[in-house]
Amino acid sequence: MGRFRSLNVALVVFVFIMMICSSILSGIVLIFLHQYNFFVQVESARIAFLITGLITSTIIGTILTLPVGNYLLKPLNELIAATEEVSKGDFNVKVKELKKNHQFGELIRSFNIMTKELSSIEMFRKDFINNFSHEFRTPIVSIRGFARQLKNTSLTDEKSQEYIKIIIRESERLANMSSNILFLTKLENQEIVTDKKLFSLDEQIRNCILLLQMEWERKDIDLNIQLDPMEYYSDEEMLSHVWLNLLGNAIKFSRNKGEITIKCRDEVEHIMVKISDNGIGMKDETIHQIFEKFYQGDSSRTTEGNGLGLSLVKRIVDLCGGQIDVKSYLGNGTDITVRLPKQIK
């Protein structure tokens, strides 16, 4: 509001100065004409004097206003031209910034910030579409290829069953990916946590562990469970995705006969949930990109997955106002710690 007021004052001062300059110059012209007895030779000299003054003042005012106005309004004209470029889809356009105390300086800075954000969003959109297309195409090609193989009448029953299993697995992968994308899109358009209720957080984590029992038993993984009784007020179903994804990853990247530790503690201001494994670990590069959509580290490319699980986890934790930290060393396992703020019912 202060910026608008100062702009109004500047416009008033500009008009006032133009009027003063015009009046002074008109007066000089009239005095010059009067000295040469121009008005004495004209009937009704008083009227002629006024008309001449008015015309002179108008001409001089216009001549002064055009260049000065163009100079002062040049940043605004550049901003209008840049806005037209943005409307055509060019988000890389940038307007030259002015001094901090300039009237249009703040407006131009805000415009440049906006175009930078739009450019980032556009880049993200293109990357997302490219990654999405690639990740969907891979299982579809696999399904199509093995379905064609099944038409071969010379296949043994063993080979047929193997191909059917691959088709089922790839179909489930597609269904999983579709569900995750839809859920992630919903979360990204959500700013607050809804459907809150009071539930037992430690019991929820135990249920998630039981849901994954077949997976950790298959690898003969030893579970070290240290869960303090903890009541929490939030969206129970949404938070379950966090624990299922984190536990699923810990199991996936653990070695056979490995160990996973699951802790839940009260930290006064936060509730801490920590999931640790002694599996294959991650490189620093992987840690820095682990929450990006469709990103999969080198090790994870040898396993099932679509690179969306941890993006979901990060978005849910952010929505809850919490934090997630990752510590990992290649070959020495991974620790993932989630801290959730205590919610008041």
| Model confidence, pTM | 0.55
Beta bridge mates, 223? 260
Low-confidence stretches of the chain (pLDDT < 70) are 1-23, 25-73, 98-104, 120-135, 188-191, 293-307, 343-345
- Cβ neighbours for 204, distance < 8 A, ≥ 6 positions apart: 236, 239, 240, 243
Q: What is the pLDDT of residue 182?
A: 72
SS3 39: coil
Burial 125-153 (b: 16+ CB within 10 A, else e): eeeeeebbeebbeebeebbeebeeeeeee
**129-188 and 197-341 in the same fold:** no
Q: What residues contact 252, with CB distance under 8 A and at least 6 apart?
A: 215, 300, 303, 304, 305
Beta strands in 133-189 (DSSP E): none
- The pLDDT of residue 229 is 92
Q: Where are the beta strands (DSSP E) in 145-258?
A: 197-200, 222-227, 231-234
| Other CB atoms within 10 A of residue 234 CB | 22
In this predicted model, what pLDDT tens digit does every residue of 26-42 receive, in sequence order? 666 666 666 666 555 54
104: phi > 0 → left, psi -120 to 50 → alpha, else beta; which?
Answer: alpha
Domain ranges of the chain: 2-90, 129-188, 197-341
- For the chain, the farthest-separated pair of C-alpha atoms sits apart, in whole angstroms, at 122
Taking the C-alpha atoms of residue 14 and residue 16, their distance in angstroms, rounded to an integer, is 5
Please write the tens of the pLDDT for every residue from 200-214. Answer: 999 999 999 998 898
CA distances (Å), 121 to each of 124, 125, 128, 241, 311, in order?
A: 5, 6, 10, 26, 17
- The DSSP bridge partners found for residue 42 are none
pLDDT at residue 101, as a whole number: 60
Cβ(338)–Cβ(324) below 8 Å: yes
- Rounded CA separation 312/293 (Å): 9
CB 334 within 8 A of CB 282: yes
Task: Tell me the fold of 129-188.
Answer: Helix Hairpins (1.10.287)
CATH T-level fold of 197-341 = Heat Shock Protein 90 (3.30.565)
Helix (H, G, I), strand (E, B) or coil at 342: coil
Question: How far, in Å, CA of 27 to CA of 340, rounded?
Answer: 77
